[in-house]
Amino acid sequence: MTFHFAYNYGALLQCYALQEYLTSCGHDVKIINYIPPNVKHRPYWNQLISRKLSISKVLKIIKKIQYAPLQNKEFDLFRKTHLNLTEVFSYEKLSKINNEFDAIIVGSDQIWNPSQHKIGSYFLSHLKQFKGKRISYAPCCAYNKVDSEVKGQLVKALSDFHAISVRNKETQRFVFDLVNHKPPLVVDPTLLWNFNEFYNEKPLIVGDYILTYILGKEIKGGHKKIIARLKEKYPKHQIVSVILTENNPQLFNWSDKTYWCADTIEWLNMFNHASFIYTDSFHGLLFGIKFKKPFIAFYAEQARSSRFIDLAQRFGNIENNIVESFDDAVKKDSFNQIIDFSDLEEKIKVEVNKSVSFLTQSLIR
């Protein structure tokens, strides 16, 4: 049970990856088709009803109106085609789960972020009748913050888990502060699966290119400065931007080509054939690493910083490729860093083996 419903490449691919990995181990896997009641889709047109919108904001909303339904249709098709979904589960129906499953795994993704604490679905806090194993695999809390009114509920819920693992140290501290237990760190599910079934040897884009995949706020110092430096290093490369239109449609006047409604498999292949990656996305960074691409990953928001800093600390030799500002990138000489992908691959392999061991032991013991 995870954020499988999100209109987001990383959310879909991490869900698919864990499903496929567990299936390859011989398990019968289903994705519980549940959407939390606090997740609501606001009609795009309604976002224009405000007197305080800037011209830039209006243009972004128009892009969303134009392209988000097309992109979301592609996400829905991927879900229908590649995820083994149950029937739709309401919040009320979840509480009645009894013997339908031998185990429920919650995670990965930010399923334990503060917006989900009160509802408690992803902590399985209201599954009073469930007899099977409760397991967490690589959930993220975004940042370690718990309101006093829900603390007791979360303590009780986590205490009922058969096995807990988390995706980063911030979430490890979150669990420790609640139940005085330090859970093991495991890798994001996208590192458990190779996705070979989706790779296309023929590039979607003709010619060499730098790929940008940006979800949040602008880097301190500005994207234009970063792009100018990258163009100096890669003078004959196009700047290609792939946009998550539902999330935060960006207007990048420095892009040579913009993809507003790429499907999930196209997104994968854009990463696979890029010469360089510039991103603030956690999964954008992971796929850059998977495909052994030089990259700069930046964070401009608290919710993103903990995940990136954690990866830098665990995998060591990418620290100079993860930055918080243009000046930081200059100081670290991020534009010219040569990543030792052989060393990185060995470190990831160690972490993957630990993660596989956690899943195996949690499901059989």
- Rounded to an integer, the average pLDDT of 217-227 is 95
Rounded distance, CA 313 to CA 321, Å? 12
Residues 333-345 have a mean pLDDT of: 93
d(Cα 295, Cα 279) in Å, to the nearest integer?
8
pLDDT above 80 for 169: yes
Instruction: Tell me the two tokens of residue 342.
Output: 């052989």
Q: 3-state DSSP call for residue 276?
A: strand
- How many whole angstroms separate alpha carbon 320 and alpha carbon 140? 24
| pLDDT (tens digit per residue) in 67-101 | 999 999 999 999 999 999 999 999 899 988 988 89
Domain boundaries, the chain: 9-192+351-364, 197-347
Q: Give, in words, the CATH class of 9-192+351-364.
A: alpha beta
State how far the Cα of 125 lies from the Cα of 352, in Å rounded to an integer.
29
What's the pLDDT tens digit per position in 225-239?
Answer: 999 999 999 999 999
Task: List C-alpha distances in Å: 263 to 15, 69, 74, 186, 211.
Answer: 16, 12, 5, 28, 16
Judge whether residue 138 has pLDDT over 90. Answer: yes
Reading the block at residue 338, the tokens are 């040569």
Question: Would you state the structure tokens that stand for residue 239, as one six-digit string?
Answer: 């700047």
What's the whole-number mean pLDDT along residues 251-258?
Answer: 93
With a cut of 70, say whether residue 288 has pLDDT above it: yes
pLDDT reported for residue 181: 94
- If you average pLDDT over residues 143-165, what whole number do you get? 95
Cα Rg of the chain, angstroms:
21
Instruction: Single out the residue of 326, 245, 282 nearest to residue 10, CA to CA.
Output: 282
Strands of 295-298's sheet in order across: 257-259, 238-242, 209-213, 276-279, 295-298, 322-323
CATH 3.40.50.300 fits 197-347, yes or no: no
363 in helix, strand or coil? helix
More confident residue, 99 or 152: 152
DSSP secondary structure letters along 312-358: HHHH-TTGGGEESBHHHHHHHTGGG----HHHHHHHHHHHHHHHHHH
- Could you please report the per-residue DSSP string of 2-60? -STTSS-HHHHHHHHHHHHHHHHTT----EEEE--TT--PPPTGGGG--TT--HHHHHH
According to the model, what pLDDT value does residue 11 have? 96
pLDDT at residue 8, as a whole number? 95
Shared fold status for 9-192+351-364 and 197-347: yes
Token pair recorded at residue 113: 């972020």
How far apart are the C-alpha atoms of 266 and 204, rounded to whole Å?
7
**CA torsion sign, 201 to 207 to 208 to 209?**
negative
Residue 192 DSSP one-character state: T
Angle in degrees, 0-180, between the axes of helices 341-364 and 282-290, rounded to the nearest 10: 110
Amino acid 60: pLDDT: 86
Q: SS3 helix, strand, coil % of the chain, rounded to 5?
A: 45, 15, 40
- CA 134-88-193 angle, 5° bins: 55
For residues 301-316, give the mean pLDDT.
Answer: 81
Q: In the prediction, which pLDDT does 285 show?
A: 95
Q: In this structure, what token pair is assigned to residue 226?
A: 């970063």
**DSSP for residue 166:** B
pLDDT tens digits for 3-41?
A: 999 999 999 999 999 999 999 999 999 999 999 988 877
Spatial distance between the Cα atoms of 302 and 315, rounded to a whole number of angstroms = 21
DSSP string, 96-159: T--SS-SEEEE-SBSTTSGGGTTT-GGGTTT-TT--SEEEE-SB--SS----HHHHHHHHHHHH
Q: What is the mean pLDDT of the chain?
A: 92
